[in-house]
Structures are given as C-alpha cells and as structure tokens.
Amino acid sequence: MGALKDAGIRSLQDNLAAYDAARKQEEKQDANSLKSLFDAYLNTKSKAKRERMLKEFSERRLEFAAYLQAHPELVAAETKRALITAALGGEYVETETGVDSAGRRHKRRRVRQVAPNLQAILQLLESDVAPKPENNLLEIIREGLEAEDEV
C-alpha cells in the first residue's frame, strides 16, 4: 500500500507542477514562434492581453523582416547551407523519452538515415554559387527527377 500511496503523491506533485508551469507561461506570454503564440493566445483569458500579444508578435516580425532586407547575404548564405545539407543527406539521431510501467524514465536513441535530396542538388546546380557542370550533369539529374515523378 505504501508504494501505491507514494505513486499517487508523486502523480499529484507532477500534475501540480504542470499546472503551475502553465499558469506561469500564461503570465509570461513570450511568443517566439507561431506555435507558442497560438498556445499562449488560446490560454489567455483577457481580450486586451491577447490583442497586445498579437501586436508585439507582429512588431518583432517586422523588425526581423527589415533586418533581413538590409542583409540579403545572410539569407543567401543560410539558404546555400540548407541546400548543401539537404543535397548531401546523411544521418541524424532521434531521441524518444518514455516512462515504463514502474514509473522510471527511459530514453531511446535511434539513428535515422536521410537520402540525398535530388531537388536540392538540382537547385544548387542551377544557382549562381555552384560551378557549372561540364558533362551535362544537370540534364542527367533532370531526367532522374522526371523518371522519379513518373513512377
């Protein structure tokens, strides 16, 4: 009976902590992403607070857009890096956290393989930053993509 009582108390403490965290988030209202803005908007009861939250979010995004327009080389560099990463493929580690029947946490790590993205390769080859292929590699990739679309 003692283990069951301890599990119940632990569960109650976890739920109270989650409730307090949700209330603190509502008070904090820091919307860094659209998802966090959406969650905070739904959890805020006051209409004035919701309107202020939307206004602050849109103003921050306008400042960011102006900064990106003033520095287009940053966008080009980040786009090139993302295209190269997608074109190369590779592997990434996925971590999954769970709780077993005894209440213990466990983490499971999986290594996932990502195939090279032919669309990213084509985009890199067509861009001005990539050297032009000498043996018509661009046409070979286009034919491969067209064959992939037909299948």
C-alpha–C-alpha distance, residues 41 and 29, integer Å? 8
pTM for this predicted structure? 0.39
In sequence order, which residues have a C-beta less than 8 Å from that of residue 30 and are 6 or more positions away?
Answer: 36, 40
Q: Please give the single-letter amino acid code of residue 42.
A: L
Least confidently predicted of 18-32, 39-53, 58-72: 18-32
In the predicted model, what is the mean pLDDT of the chain?
76
Least confidently predicted of 22-31, 53-62, 70-79, 119-128: 22-31
For the segment 50-72, the average pLDDT, to the nearest whole number, is: 80
Query: What's the sign of the alpha-carbon dihedral 85, 88, 89, 92?
Result: negative
Ramachandran angles phi, psi of 65, nearest 5°? -65, -40
Higher-confidence residue of 135 and 10: namely 10
Model pLDDT, residue 17: 81
For the segment 28-41, the average pLDDT, to the nearest whole number, is: 64
For the segment 74-86, the average pLDDT, to the nearest whole number, is: 82
Can you read off the two tokens belonging to residue 83? 């295209």
Higher-confidence residue of 69 and 33: namely 69
For the segment 67-74, the average pLDDT, to the nearest whole number, is: 81
Are the CB atoms for 125 and 137 separated by under 8 Å? yes
C-alpha–C-alpha distance, residues 83 and 19, integer Å? 42
Quick one: how far is CA 55 from the chain centroid? 24
